């Protein structure tokens, strides 16, 4: 990896972290950038998650007031999201990497559509 590619990835990472902290969905930019840099898709996926984790943790206090009133409404969402993350992670680990590669365009398109039609 040359210096230009490194600087581009750092810029995308910083921008993606800020984007994720404010609105979420930065993986739509950062994940393809990691793949374009040559990382295998499964490695890019894991790297992307770990790279954006600090932005998520840093943004959480900013939303404390908004999340505080949700209480019971938030619990089922956390459970479903957690279960989906566990199932998705297990599927990613046990399936053929080429299956994930084939699904990437559909996953990105679905995520984009959900962001476009969501509140």
Question: Block means of pLDDT (10 residues each) for the chain, length 119 residues?
Answer: 89 87 85 92 90 83 80 86 92 91 92 85
The predicted structure's pLDDT at residue 21: 78
pTM: 0.77
The predicted structure's pLDDT at residue 69: 76
Contact 32, 108 (CB under 8 A): yes
The 10 Å CB-count burial string (b at 16+, else e) for 4-16 is eeeeebeebbeeb
**SS3 call for 2:** coil
The predicted structure's pLDDT at residue 64: 81
Which phi and psi (to 5°) does residue 115 adopt? -65, -40
- What is the torsional sign of CA 3, 38, 104, 77? negative
């Amino acid at each position: 990896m040359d210096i230009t590619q490194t600087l581009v990835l750092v810029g995308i990472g910083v921008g993606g972290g800020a984007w994720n902290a404010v609105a979420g969905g930065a993986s739509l930019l950062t994940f393809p950038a990691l793949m374009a840099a040559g990382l295998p898709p499964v490695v890019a996926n894991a790297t992307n998650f770990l790279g954006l984790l600090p932005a998520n943790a840093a943004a959480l206090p900013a939303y404390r007031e908004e999340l505080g009133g949700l209480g019971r409404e938030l619990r089922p969402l956390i459970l479903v999201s957690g279960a989906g993350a566990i199932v998705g992670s297990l599927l990613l680990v046990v399936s053929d990497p080429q299956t994930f590669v084939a699904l990437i365009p559909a996953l990105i398109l679905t995520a984009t559509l959900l962001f476009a039609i969501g509140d």
